[in-house]
Amino acid sequence: MGVIRVRPRPERTGAAKMSRCQRHGVEREAPPAVYRFPPQAISVEFPQESVREETMPIEVLPVRPSFVARVIGADLTALSPAATAAIGTAIDTYSVLIVPDQHLDDDHLLTLGKTFGDVEPPRNHRVVQRLKHAELADISNLDANNRLRAADDHRRLDSLGNRLWHSDASFREVPGALSMLFAHVVPPAGGETEFADLRAAYDALDAPMQARIEGLAVEHSIFHSRGQLGHTDYTDAERAALPPVLHPLVRVHPVSKRKTLYMGSHASHIVGWPMPDGRLLLRDLMEHATQREFVYRHAWRVGDLVIWDNRCTMHRGRSYDDATHPRDLRRVTTKDLSMLQPA
Ligand SMILES: [Fe+2]
C-alpha cells in the first residue's frame, strides 16, 4: 500500500500539525482542537482537506473531520489492492464514503461486496427476485416487472420501515458490517439517505450516562421496528425465522477502537430492565444521537455508490413520491463477524 498524505487546501496555512497513524502508516493532519458543526445537516460541496494516495488516482475529501468523505477518482469495477486498502482505511476513519460517477451492474456490486467481506444475504421479504443475485438487497419501489408497487403492496409496507433510523440487519445474530448502496434511478425530489455518527454521539454523552449504559444488552427484532409503523402482517413462520437477538448497547469498533452506541429502530428494550424504563432510555439516546450536529444527509445522484459502516452509524431513507417516480437503489452488505468475538 502506498503512503497516503493529507494535502491541506492552499488557503489553510500555519496551524496544521501532522501526525502518523500507527496502524495504517498514514500521515494526516491533526483535526482542529475545536470544530463547530454547522447547525444543519450539510451536503458535500465544501471539503476541508484532501487525502491523496500517491500511487493511485484516488482522492479522499472529508466532509467533516472524522465523519463522511467523498472518494474521487476510483473505479469500483477494477479496484487494485492499493486502492482497496485506501478505501478500507477511509471507511475506518470516516464511517461513510460517497463514491460518485460509478457504472456498476449487479455482478460488479456483488464483487465489490465480496472485496470487503463475507456477504450477508438480505431478507428480500416476499419478493419475486428482480435483481440478478439473491445476495443483493432490492432497495426500490419496483416489482419484478419494474412496475411501481401499489400503495397496499406488502413488500412496500415492509420497506417503509427503512424510513426509521436503523443499522442494517441489527436484528440478526450476525448483523451488517459494511453496506454498499448503488443508485441506478433516483426520483426528482426527496428520497435522500441520512446518516448519524454514533461514535461522536457516544463521545458527547456525559460521564454519568456513559457509566450508566456500559455493559447493557439490548434486544433487537425486525418485527419490533415494523410494528412501530403499525405493520404487523407477518406469518408465524416469518416470525419464527427471525427470532429476537441481543447486542451490546455500547460497542468498541473492531478497527478504530472508538466506543460507539449501537441501537436503532430494531432495538426494542434493555435486557433486565422494566420495559418502560428501557424504552425511555433508548428513546433518549436516539434523540441525542440524531441531533443535526451528528447527522449527514446524502442527496442521491445516479451513479453514486455510498459505503457506510453499520457498526458505528445509523441511517434512514427519506420520503419521496413513490406512487409516481421510480427509485432504484441496490445494496450489498457484509457480515459483522466481530459480533461473534468478545469486545
Ligand atoms: Fe438500511
SS (H, E, C) the chain: CCCEEEEECCCCCCCCCEEEECCCCEEEECCCCCCCCCCCCCCCCCCCEEEEECCCCCEEEECCCCCCEEEECCCCCCCCHHHHHHHHHHHHHHCEEEECCCCCCHHHHHHHHHHCCCECCCCCCCCCCCCCCCCCEEEECECCCCCECCCCCHHHHHHHHHHCCECCCCCCCCCEEEEEEEEEECCCCCCCEEEEEHHHHHHCCCHHHHHHHCCCEEEECHHHHHHHCCCCCCCHHHHHHCCCEEEECEEECCCCCCEEECCCCCEEEECCCCHHHHHHHHHHHHHHHCCHHHEEEECCCCCCEEEEECCCEEEEECCCCCCCCCCEEEEEEEECHHHHCCC
What distance in angstroms lies between residue 286's CA and the mean position of ligand 1's atoms? 16
Neighbours of ion ligand 1 (CB under 5 A): 168
Please tell me the distance between residue 304's alpha carbon and the centre of ligand 1 in angstroms.
16
CA of 193 to the centre of ligand 1 (A): 9
What domains, with CATH codes, occur in the chain? 4-99 (no CATH), 106-340 (3.60.130.10)
Ligand 1 centroid from CA 94, angstroms: 18
pLDDT of residue 343: 52
Q: In this predicted structure, what is the pLDDT of residue 206? A: 98
| Ligand 1 centroid, distance to 6 Cα (angstroms) | 31
Q: What's the pLDDT at 10? A: 28
User: What is the pLDDT, as a whole number, of residue 342?
Assistant: 56
Kindly give the distance from the C-alpha atom of residue 159 to the centroid of ligand 1, in angstroms, as a whole number. 10
Per-residue confidence (pLDDT) for residue 341, from 0 to 100? 67
pLDDT tens by residue, 82-100: 999 999 999 999 999 999 9
pLDDT digits (tens, 9 = 90+) for 239-257: 999 999 999 999 999 999 9
Name the stretches of the chain with pLDDT < 70. 1-56, 124-125, 127, 341-343
- pTM for this entry: 0.83
